[in-house]
Amino acid sequence: MTHTPIIQMRGISKRFGQVQANIAVDFTLHRGEIHAIVGENGAGKSTLMKILYGLYQPDEGDIYVDGQPVAISSPRRAMRLGLGMIQQHFTLIPVFTALQNIVLAKEPRKFKTFLDDEKAEAEITVLAEQLGFDVPLNTPVSALPIGAQQHTEILKVLYHGADILIMDEPTAMLAPQEIEGLFKCMRGLKEEGRSLIIITHKLDEVMAIADTVTVMRRGKAVTACPTAETDSNQLAELMLGEPIMPTPPPVGSVSNRATQNRPKNANPVLHMEDVTLTAETGKRPLDDINLSVFPGEIVGIAGIEGNGQTELVEVLTGLRQIQSGTITLDSESVGNCTTAELREKHIAHLPADRHRHGISLNSRIDENFIIGQHKQKRFCRNAMLQHASIQRFAMNALDKYQIQAGDIAHPIKTLSGGNQQKVVVARELAGAPVLIIAAHPTRGLDIHAAKFVHTRLIQARNRGKAVLLVSSELDELLHLSDRIAVMYEGKIAGIVKPEETNQQELGAFMLGLN
C-alpha cells in the first residue's frame, strides 16, 4: 500500500468542557483496507469517527481525502466525499420498506417528477446479489430480522455512493452465523477496492477480519500496526496501559458451577408458567414462556435483539402486564405486580439502559445510591431525607466497590460509564435481593468495568441468589451461566448447558434453525 492514503487525519484534538476526548490523534486509512479501532470506554474512538463523518468539528487538526485537505462540516458533506456511517443502532424508518429506506433522499425519477420504483429496485437487486444479500426489498423494516436490517443499512450507504464505510460495533446484535455472513460481505467490499473502518471491542474479531488496527487510550492513538504483527493479549495490554494478569478459568467453567451443589429438591426462586404477552398488533412478544431460576444459579437468556428478551425483563420488573400465565417468586404469585411491589419483594434490576432506567443523570451521586430505597427508615424519617445517613452509605459503597468519584455532591453524569454502572450494581445488590435481573449489564463497558460486574454476579450466585442474565454477548453467557435459554420469536427455542454447547449451536437456536 504505497499509494496516497484515502483518509488521513493529522493532529485531531477535541474537547467537551473539561473532558479532552481526542488529543493530537493521527489516523491513516488506505484504499482496500479493513482498519479496526479499539480502546476502552472513553478512549476517544467514537469521537474521532464522528469527526470524520462530520457529526463533530475538531478543535485542532486537519483531514485529507485522497491527499486533498477537506473540511467535513456535516454528514451530507461526508457523504459527498464518499463516506458512509452505519451506526450501532440503525437509523432506518421502521414503517418504510427496505427499498424506501435505501433510496430515501436519492429517489430515481421519471420525467424529473415521478418516482421510478422499478429502476430503483432493479439497481438495488443487482447490488444485493453482488454482496450475497437476500433482503426482501418491499417488506417494512420493522418486520425484518436484525441481520437483514443491517444489510439494508449497508445497501443504503453503498447506493448513496460510499467508498469508505465506518461501522460502529457491527456485530453487537448478530448471531455467529450472521457474523460470518457480515465478514464475507466486508471481505467482498474490500476486494472491490472499498475501505472499511470498524469500531469494536471484540479483539478476536479484530484479529479475524482487520488488516490494520489502531489502539486508542485516554484520547490518544497509542499505536497503529498490521494485525499480523500483534495478538489479542498485546492489544488488550495496549488498551489498558498495563500488563494483563493471568486469569483463572472462566467463572462459568464446570468446576465453578454453583448449581452442581444445589439441593436436589430445591424450589425455584423464580418460576414462569405459560406466560404470554400480547401486543396491540396481535403479535405475541412472549408466547407461552416456561422458565425457572433456582437459588445459586445464573440462567442466561440469549437471542437476537427483538425476540422477546426486552419484554421478558419488562414483565419481571413490573413495566408490562401479562395476559395469561403465572409468575411466582418463592412460590408467591407476583404476576402483574408493580415495580415498587417487586422491589419490596427483593427483586434487583440492572437495566439495559442505565441512563433511562438506572440512574438520574442530573441528581447527586449519593442520591443515586438510594433510588428505590429512599423510603427506608435509615434514609428517610418523617418524610425528610436523612442526608448524613445517605452520605455515609454512599461513601462506604464508593470504597467497597472502588468507584472513582470526586465529590459525591456532583451530578452522577460527571462519572464515566463504568463508574455509573458500578453505582447501579452497588445500589441493587445492597438490598439483599433474592432475585437479580441483569439486562446487558456490561454493554458499553471497558474490560475492567465488565470484569467487576461479572465478579459481583458470580459472588451473588455463590451466596445463593438467583440471577437471570440477559446478554447479546455469547462469550459472556457461556462464561457466566449455569444454563442458557435461547429466545426466538417470543418463545424459548431451547435450554442448554454451557459445557454441552458452543456459539454455533446457540446461533442456530437464535435463528430458529433447531
Predicted local distance difference test score (pLDDT) of residue 145: 81
102 part of a folded domain: yes
Mean pLDDT score, 15-26? 89
Same domain, 198 and 276: no
Q: What is the pLDDT of residues 122-160, one digit of tens each?
A: 999 999 998 888 899 999 998 888 888 999 999 999 999
Instruction: Report if residue 258 sits inside a domain.
Output: no
Which amino acid belongs to residue 163? D
Range of the domain at 98: 7-240
- Decide if 249 is inside a domain: no
Residues 300, 176, single domain; the answer is no
Give the CA-trace dihedral at 126, 127, 132, 134, to 10 degrees: -70
Distance CA 204, CA 68 (A): 35
Average pLDDT, the chain: 89
CATH number assigned to the domain comprising residue 135: 3.40.50.300
pLDDT tens-digit readout, 364-393: 999 999 888 887 888 888 878 888 888 998
pLDDT tens, residue by residue, 60-77 = 999 999 999 999 999 999
Angle at the Cα of 221 (from 218 to 222), degrees rounded to 5?
90
Given a cut of 70, whether residue 469 has pLDDT beyond it is: yes
276 SS3 class: strand
Q: Are residues 232 and 278 in the same domain?
A: no
The pLDDT of residue 84 is 96
* pLDDT over 60 (residue 257): no
pLDDT mean over 258-283: 80
Tally of CA atoms within 13 A in the half-sphere of 106 that contains its CB: 18
Least confident of 285-289, 354-358, 436-440: 354-358
Cell 464515566, located at residue: 416
Question: Is a pLDDT exceeding 60 seen at residue 179?
Answer: yes
Residue 190's pLDDT band (cuts 50, 70, 90): very high
What is the pLDDT, as a whole number, of residue 249? 45
- SS3 sequence, 294-338? CCCEEEEEECCCCCCHHHHHHHHCCCCCCCEEEEEECCEECCCCC
Q: Return phi, psi of residue 255, to 5°.
A: -65, -20
Last residue of a domain, one of 206, 240, 274: 240
pLDDT value of position 2: 56
Is residue 253 situated within a structural domain?
no
Is the pLDDT at 262 greater than 60, yes or no? no
Identify which of 298, 297, 301, 292 has the alpha carbon closest to the alpha carbon of residue 330.
292
Tell me: do 75 and 117 sit in the same domain.
yes
Write out the H or E segment, with its range, that includes residue 78: helix 75-80
Least Cα distance to 423 among 368, 473, 373 occurs for: 368
pLDDT for position 387: 86
The percent of residues in the chain predicted with pLDDT above 90, rounded, is 64
pLDDT category of residue 282 using cuts at 50, 70 and 90: confident
Choose one of 196, 225, 240: the last residue of a domain: 240
Q: Does 508 score more than 70 pLDDT?
A: yes
pLDDT higher than 80, residue 113: no
Does 263 score more than 70 pLDDT?
A: no
CA distance 84 to 77: 11
Radius of gyration of the chain (CA): 24
Count of beta carbons in the 10 Å neighbourhood of residue 182: 20
Q: Which residues sit opposite 217 in a β-bridge?
A: 220
Q: What is the pLDDT of residue 3?
A: 79
**Does the pLDDT of residue 251 top 70, yes or no?**
no
Q: Which of 202, 225, 240 is the last residue of a domain?
A: 240
Question: Cell 490518544 belongs to which residue?
Answer: 220
- Cα 43 from Cα 218, distance rounded (Å): 5
| Cross-sheet strand order for the sheet of 270-277 | 286-293, 270-277, 324-329, 332-333
The reply to whether 353 and 222 lie within a common domain is no
379 in Cβ contact with 389 (< 8 Å): yes
Among candidates 39, 190, 107, which has minimal Cα distance to 182? 190
Same domain, 282 and 135: no
Virtual torsion, Cα 429, 430, 434, 438, nearest 10 deg: -20
pTM attached to this predicted model:
0.78
| Shared domain check, 187 and 55 | yes
- Let me know if residue 332 belongs to a domain: yes
The CA distances from residue 320 to 85, 301, 310, 312, in Å, are 35, 19, 10, 9
Q: How confident is the model at residue 264 (pLDDT cuts 50, 70, 90)?
A: low
- φ, ψ for residue 448 (rounded to 5)? -65, -50
Residues 6+ apart with CB under 8 A from 381: none
Q: Report, as an integer, the average pLDDT of 189-200.
A: 95
Q: Give the C-alpha separation, 317 to 322, whole Å.
A: 12
pLDDT at residue 309 is higher than 50: yes
Tell whether 282 and 337 lie within a shared domain.
Answer: yes
User: What's the mean pLDDT in 197-217?
Assistant: 94
Sorted by sequence, the CB contacts under 8 Å of residue 496 that are 6+ apart come out as 483, 484, 486, 505, 506, 509
**Range of lowest pLDDT (92-101, 194-203, 404-413, 451-460):** 404-413
Identity of the highest mean pLDDT range in 248-252, 374-378, 393-397: 393-397
Query: How many domains does the chain contain in total?
Result: 2
pLDDT at 105: 81
pLDDT at 381 (0 to 100): 84
- Measured between alpha carbons, how far apart are the two ends of the chain, in Å? 45
Percent of the chain with pLDDT over 70: 95
Q: How far apart are CA 254 and CA 161, in angstroms?
A: 51
286 is written with which cell numbers? 412472549
SS3 (DSSP) at 152:
helix
**204 has a pLDDT exceeding 80:** yes
- CA–CA gap between residue 173 and residue 176 (Å, rounded): 10
Residues near 432 by beta carbon (within 8 Å), at least 6 away in sequence:
346
Identify residue 389 by its one-letter amino acid code: S
Q: How far is CA 90 from CA 11, 85, 380, 396, 510, in A?
A: 30, 10, 44, 41, 20
Give yes or no: residues 116 and 161 share one domain.
yes
Judge if 212 and 297 occupy the same domain.
no
Q: Return the pLDDT at 254.
A: 41
Name residues whose C-beta falls within 8 Å of residue 270's C-beta, 6 or more positions apart in sequence. Answer: 291, 292, 293, 316, 327, 328, 329, 435, 466, 468
- One domain, residues 46 and 84: yes
Q: Do residue 421 and residue 284 come from a single domain?
A: yes
